[in-house]
Structure 1
Amino acid sequence: MYRRKSIALSSRRIRFQLLVICSVVAVLIATLFSYVAYRLTSDVSQEVAQRATAEQSQMILQQVQYAFSHERIQPHQLTLPDNLLQRDYQLRVSLNGDIIYQRQHGAPISLESSSLDELKQTSDNNSGWLNSGENRFVWALASEPSSGLSVLLVKQNTELALRLNSAAADIWFTVIFTSCLAIIGALAIAMLISRQHSAFSSALEYRTSHDTLTGCYNRDYLLSQINEYIAHQISRDANHIQQHQASLLLIDINRFKEVNDALGHACGDVLLKRLSKEFATLLDNDDMLARFGGDEFAIWLPVKGAEKAELLARHLINQVQQPVNIDGIYLEVSLSIGISTFPLHGTSSEALISRADIAMYSAKRNRLGLAHFDPAQDAGTVERLKLTAGLRKALFLEQMVLYYQPQVCLKTNAIVGCEVLVRWQHPELGLLFPDKFIDVVECSGLVNDFTRYIIEHALEQNARWRQMGFEFPVSVNVSPYNLNDPQLLNFIEEKLRKYQLPASALELELTENAVVSDIERTRKLFHRLSALGVQISIDDFGTGLSSLAYVKKLDVDRIKADKAFVTHLVSDKGDQAIIRAILSLCDDLNRVSVAEGIENIEIATTLAKMGCQIGQGDYFGKAMPATDFTELLEAEIRLQGQVKLST
């Protein structure tokens, strides 16, 4: 609402500014035009009047000369016709400087104060203009030196004044008409620009507030509306805020990733658009549907409590029970919905979303379809928030400590590598194992920084061991989120150069499920890593969703059988069959076989007999700090030396 008001105000401001600018420009141009036109008209009119007066004075001089030469009259007998001139004028005829005749009509000006010589000196053309008070007069002097006659004619410029007044009226009419046209044009242009601006602003507002795929509101806009609602309720009636309930539904589409992976993103996009339309049909006018990203939606119910929210959630679940037909493929869709309520579960958008998210994962984990937030679910929230807040600081202060678990050749019992495992030396919570903080890392947005931290410190330690004469790869676990890191490969190359290590000194482990989460992206990354020389291992093999076709396509060096099939290997024939199949696969595809979770010599011996190449587990050594691992390596060297001496 506030954005729309802002856009309207902006449009009105643009129209006003454009109108003012165009009006000012039009007035300035019209004023300049008026001034120039008036000056031209005045100059031309004065020149015409001056020329006409000069011609009249010359005509009168000729008549006087004719009277003297043909009629033989005396100077004192000179007369001129009464209709010789019209309007106000003053005429004076002189002979050798003496006035022999004068006539005036209206007595426009007294010439007693101005001599003929003074008037003549004012113009080279024997004509000019006189100002007397508020009146303006044109004069002309015609003379004949041979006869000594001269005629001075002075006329009041009434016609010129009328002509100029008429011209001024025409000019100002033109100015007003032009200004009106300019204003009308400015208004038209302003309206056009304003409409285009409004359309652009509306489109921009729509883009910033809506999801481009589904047309639903986006996360940022919904959060702003929730915060606005909460602030309004608190400011209006803080003492009775419990009476103004509202609810937030967080919706996740179960197994949506499988649809994307199996049928492609285009099919997934169609499904999202279909479901968003289905959701919208169940909402009231005040309800707001938003897409948070991926397959996650949210519905904000500003005037509905927990009961109405649950009723809507059940309607949503029932709405999608019918298979969705996309290009002839019928998809079974189910939802997991978490519900949080204002103000019971929080008085901020962040708190409500966090609690709805916890409830949603509870519904997903327990396959309930929907779940309300339960404070008991949030028992670990304080610790989780503390870990999240301290994660960046932990990386900066190097509180993440690397532990190393040996990997042993099952034929020779020699250490041929190690897997890097991380511990967090937390200043308040003590030494934390990965199960306490890995989820926090992956949800924090720092997963790439975390993985780079592990890779760099592992390579730094491996460089120290190589200086001591121990050459083997260090294996670092990679999160599936790291597959989206465009700089991962460049970072690895840079650190290998920094510590002067061959690419084979590093091995990256990725779980089987992570590998197939985006098989095409994984394949491209593995290909580039293999080309560089970095070794690649598939971890927890046998527990995920991969197929032999996937394994065949990927450039991997090692396949690690999951410890779930190793722990009871000696006694469980089913585990033996699975391990045998994995080892056979490794042989056929020329991959190195690794078994983890070896707890005793019986398992190690059995795996060796079955043809497994490398073993890892507490039997060979638990994960230990770098100093302890160095001592283990040195002890192995000493033992090998003793064996050689004894032989």
Structure 2
Amino acid sequence: MWKRRARPPVRSTSRLFATFAAASLVPVVALGALVSQDYSRAAAEQGRAQGLAQADVITQMVIAPALNSEDSPAFGSDDLSRRGLTQEQHDRMREATRLAVYNGSVQHLRLRGFSGRVIFSDDGSTSSGVPVSDPDFLAAANGEARARVITGRTQTIRVMQPMLASATGQSIGVIEVYLPYQKIADRLQAQVEHTYWRIGAGLAALYLVLALLAWWITRSLRRYAADQRHNALHDALTGLPNRTAFRTWAEARLDRAARDGGHGAVVLVDLNRFKEVNDTLGHHAGDELLRVVSQRFRSVLGREDILARLGGDEFALLLPGLDSAEAVALMERVRDRLAEETVLDGVPLSIEASFGIALYPEHGSQLQELKQRADIAMYQGKRGTVDVVVYSGEGAGHPHQWLVVQAELRHALERDELILHYQPKVGVTDGDVHALEALVRWQHPQRGLVPPGDFLPAAEHSGLIVPLTEWVLRRALADQLGWTAAGQSWAVSVNVSARNLEAPGFPALVAALLAEAGTAPQRLVLEITETALAGDVETVERAIGEVAALGVGISIDDFGAGYTSLSHLRGLPVTEIKIDRAFVKDVADDPQSRAIVRSVIALAHGLGSRVTAEGVETAEVYRWLIEAGCDEAQGYLIGRPAPWPQVAPTFAVPTVIDTERASR
């Protein structure tokens, strides 16, 4: 089966990754440069600190002992420029510095006064040196040692050290010392290089982590984008293309076929009685059934065929290159494959479906047109005996020509061609009329009186049921005013569908119509088919609750025919349960029907609801209902639908009641 996959946006995500990687490299490099600069500055500061410490040691261990011997006078606070050195001090200084210079711990040493005069120099020179105006000289003169690295052929640390008097501790001169820095610089350089490698390795690891993170994020974004695109075009339950994808891909195929002269078929498929599976086995079983159906479809279809789930139990196919006979043969193989028994929740099931086929370009070239005609053919199959139907052109349509009926019904509402007949509901114990059920008829200008079965399905299918129900409610409440004026207090029952309950504002419409007619809400009963409770449950239950809050009675019609879960009845404000005629008609001679009816009666009474039996046509059935404890009865034995003035207040059923009592 042909299936298009969503392509991930590779270029955009690759570009995103490259941008992220480049952007993350900038702060990493900047961080590395900043750390390196800080460490180099710290290393230089460490070198200067070592120079200051070494100069201080030289001052304390070499110069101070040479100047402050026992045989030499102590220095006071006088500037060395005025006093100078004695010959003995000068000789000791020369001897001490000679050893220091010879050992390589000092490159050059001067002792200077505040005026800049050289008091002592290891090489005997009395000129040059740091100018007196130099900040380092001035700082040393004020008692603060300064160190500076001087680069050249060799690296040197120049230290300006204050010369302190031993007696007073005051600065009396400046020691200008030049120390070898190459070994210190080499050692610091080795430390810096080692640190650089460690920092570089750490930053490289950090960048690698950031790059991997960027790669993972971009890959995740790519996958997320691909998943989002796939989810937007595919059904989450079956994995098949959804309605949007089918429209896009099928229209592209049809456009290509129109250009190239191609042909094929569009098929709509609807599962039969799928709702019963949901209602009896639960929605999880319905979901599993849809997955099974999808897999069986795939096993039969070809790679070029497009299969999509449009929603619910409806599927669509586009079969390129097939003619009518080939499309029918393929769908028959699909039908046979679907019909193979499957077991859900321990229940063996055989899946049946209806297939409607429209051919292109024979039946149209636009997807919407082809789908409409395939839909017509499919519904023709649902109402007939053949489940694979090809659109046959003129004359084909929904049952009873639904498309025509829908158009005419709109005009019928405008022209007031509809009328109401009423069928009474009586108490089984006394035969008195308790309510009339409103049944709509269509007085067609050409076809005469049309029964509801000929037009209500078309109205339900098209949404005309909403204005039709509003018309019935308004007319029924108006007729009720007529029989109330004639002295009858009968309630009136009106049938409403799931579409009515799901329509926004339905409870407000009921309230407005009651107010318009001036009728007490208790005299109106809305009959809801049991199957309506299995639709949009939350919306339906909310609408029922709002209507019941007005005081309107709620009746569950055709109970037992829809296989609705009993959980739908829990919590609903139900005032009446009507037993479907399929069970009532056989209670005289069918034990199973009797058991079902008795169970429904007990259930209804347990819920606080009255019970009405539909389709009562014989006295024997009527007598049995009395014995079973049924509350009300409705059927041809009691009265056929007729305009309300023809409904009599009592019927012949009391004779049945009297006969039953006499037999006891």
**Same fold by TM (over 0.5)?**
yes
Residue 562 of structure 2 is aligned to residue 518 of structure 1:
yes
Which position in structure 2 is the counterpart of 1:355? 373
Structure 1 residue corresponding to 2:98, chosen from 78, 81, 98: 81
Which position in structure 1 is the counterpart of 2:245? 224
Structure 1 residue corresponding to 2:160, chosen from 140, 143, 146: 140
Deviations 1:94-134 (A, max 9, x none): 479642433579x9x95363358971336855321458899
Which position in structure 1 is the counterpart of 2:269? 251
Aligned-partner Cα distance in 2 for 1:165–1:86: 21
Please, which moves more after superposition, 367-376 or 537-546? 537-546
Residue type of the alignment partner of 1:590: D
Residue type of the alignment partner of 2:387: G
Which position in structure 2 is the counterpart of 1:592? 633
Aligned-partner Cα distance in 2 for 1:524–1:556: 18
Which position in structure 2 is the counterpart of 1:175? 199
Residue type of the alignment partner of 2:120: Y
Which position in structure 1 is the counterpart of 2:75? none
Helix, strand or coil: the match of 1:176? helix
Give the superposition deviation at 1:536: 5.7
Residue type of the alignment partner of 1:138: R
Aligned-partner Cα distance in 1 for 2:529–2:65: 127
Q: Is the 8 A contact 1:89 1:156 kept in 2?
A: yes
Residue 572 of structure 2 is aligned to residue 528 of structure 1:
yes
Q: Is the 8 A contact 2:271 2:352 kept in 1?
A: yes
Aligned-partner Cα distance in 1 for 2:56–2:464: 100
Give the superposition deviation at 1:267: 5.6
Residue type of the alignment partner of 2:56: A
Aligned-partner Cα distance in 2 for 1:100–1:310: 122
Structure 2 residue corresponding to 1:114, chosen from 109, 128, 132: 132
Aligned-partner Cα distance in 2 for 1:369–1:259: 20
Aligned-partner Cα distance in 2 for 1:117–1:227: 84
Deviations 1:581-626 (A, max 9, x none): 554455442313344645799x999x9435699xxxxxxxxxxxxx
Aligned-partner Cα distance in 2 for 1:116–1:373: 109
Deviations 1:485-543 (A, max 9, x none): 9998899789879988655311233569854453445784498343xx4x565687789
Two-structure CA RMSD over aligned residues (Å):
5.6
Structure 2 residue corresponding to 1:99, chosen from 102, 118, 143: 118
Give the superposition deviation at 1:475: 1.9
Which position in structure 1 is the counterpart of 2:534? none
Q: Is the 8 A contact 1:489 1:529 kept in 2?
A: no
Q: In 2 relative to 1, CA 75–326 (structure 1 residues): closer, same or farther, beyond 3 Å?
A: closer
Q: In 2 relative to 1, CA 559–289 (structure 1 residues): closer, same or farther, beyond 3 Å?
A: same
Aligned-partner Cα distance in 1 for 2:322–2:284: 35
Deviations 1:139-180 (A, max 9, x none): 222424479675322457555655555454344433332222
Aligned-partner Cα distance in 2 for 1:438–1:346: 30
Q: In 2 relative to 1, CA 10–352 (structure 1 residues): closer, same or farther, beyond 3 Å?
A: farther
Structure 2 residue corresponding to 1:47, chosen from 36, 49, 53: 49
Residue 176 of structure 2 is aligned to residue 152 of structure 1:
yes
Residue 526 of structure 2 is aligned to residue 508 of structure 1:
yes
Give the superposition deviation at 1:561: 3.5
Aligned-partner Cα distance in 2 for 1:95–1:598: 137
Aligned-partner Cα distance in 1 for 2:586–2:294: 29
Q: In 2 relative to 1, CA 351–609 (structure 1 residues): closer, same or farther, beyond 3 Å?
A: same
Helix, strand or coil: the match of 1:281? helix
Aligned-partner Cα distance in 2 for 1:315–1:178: 67
Structure 2 residue corresponding to 1:339, chosen from 357, 379, 382: 357
Q: In 2 relative to 1, CA 113–487 (structure 1 residues): closer, same or farther, beyond 3 Å?
A: same
Q: Is the 8 A contact 2:148 2:157 kept in 1?
A: yes
Q: In 2 relative to 1, CA 545–491 (structure 1 residues): closer, same or farther, beyond 3 Å?
A: farther
Residue type of the alignment partner of 2:144: N
Q: In 2 relative to 1, CA 3–19 (structure 1 residues): closer, same or farther, beyond 3 Å?
A: farther
Structure 1 residue corresponding to 2:6, chosen from 4, 24, 28: 4
Structure 1 residue corresponding to 2:457, chosen from 439, 453, 457: 439
Q: Is the 8 A contact 1:403 1:422 kept in 2?
A: yes
Unaligned 5+ runs, structure 2? 73-84, 532-557, 588-592, 657-664
Q: In 2 relative to 1, CA 47–475 (structure 1 residues): closer, same or farther, beyond 3 Å?
A: same
Aligned-partner Cα distance in 1 for 2:402–2:102: 116
Aligned-partner Cα distance in 2 for 1:144–1:262: 109
Q: In 2 relative to 1, CA 463–20 (structure 1 residues): closer, same or farther, beyond 3 Å?
A: farther
Unaligned 5+ runs, structure 1? 426-430, 563-577, 614-647
Residue 298 of structure 2 is aligned to residue 280 of structure 1:
yes
Residue 328 of structure 2 is aligned to residue 319 of structure 1:
no
Q: Is the 8 A contact 2:424 2:647 kept in 1?
A: no
Aligned-partner Cα distance in 2 for 1:524–1:494: 28
Which position in structure 2 is the counterpart of 1:621? none
Q: Is the 8 A contact 2:254 2:365 kept in 1?
A: no
Deviations 1:346-391 (A, max 9, x none): 4454433332222122223222231112332259687578689x89
What is the aligned-residue identity percentage? 20
Which position in structure 1 is the counterpart of 2:495? 477
Aligned-partner Cα distance in 2 for 1:450–1:46: 99
Q: Is the 8 A contact 1:57 1:152 kept in 2?
A: no
Aligned-partner Cα distance in 2 for 1:419–1:136: 117
Aligned-partner Cα distance in 1 for 2:374–2:326: 15
Q: In 2 relative to 1, CA 57–266 (structure 1 residues): closer, same or farther, beyond 3 Å?
A: closer
Deviations 1:223-267 (A, max 9, x none): 414423423663x685x35x2334333223334455556666666
Q: Is the 8 A contact 1:61 1:143 kept in 2?
A: no
Which position in structure 1 is the counterpart of 2:662? none
Residue type of the alignment partner of 2:55: T
Residue type of the alignment partner of 1:126: E
Q: Is the 8 A contact 1:88 1:104 kept in 2?
A: no
Helix, strand or coil: the match of 1:5? coil
Q: Is the 8 A contact 2:491 2:525 kept in 1?
A: yes
Q: Is the 8 A contact 2:335 2:352 kept in 1?
A: yes
**TM-score calculated relative to the size of structure 1:** 0.67
Q: How does 1:361-400 map to 2 (within 5 A)?
A: 361-376=379-394, 377-378=396-397
Q: How does 1:291-310 map to 2 (within 5 A)?
A: 291-310=309-328
Residue type of the alignment partner of 1:353: K
Deviations 1:534-591 (A, max 9, x none): x5656877899995515545555544549xxxxxxxxxxxxxxx44455445544231
Aligned-partner Cα distance in 2 for 1:387–1:123: 118
Q: Is the 8 A contact 1:254 1:333 kept in 2?
A: yes
Q: Is the 8 A contact 2:250 2:318 kept in 1?
A: no
Aligned-partner Cα distance in 2 for 1:76–1:472: 142
Helix, strand or coil: the match of 1:364? helix
Which position in structure 2 is the counterpart of 1:625? none
Aligned-partner Cα distance in 2 for 1:279–1:320: 8
Residue type of the alignment partner of 1:180: A
Q: In 2 relative to 1, CA 371–586 (structure 1 residues): closer, same or farther, beyond 3 Å?
A: same
Aligned-partner Cα distance in 2 for 1:116–1:489: 100
Size of the alignment, in residue pairs? 574
Q: How does 1:206-245 map to 2 (within 5 A)?
A: 209-211=233-235, 213=237, 215-217=238-240, 219-220=242-243, 223-231=244-252, 234=255, 240-241=259-260, 243-245=261-263
Q: How does 1:393-412 map to 2 (within 5 A)?
A: 404-406=420-422
Residue 652 of structure 2 is aligned to residue 609 of structure 1:
yes
Residue 438 of structure 2 is aligned to residue 419 of structure 1:
yes
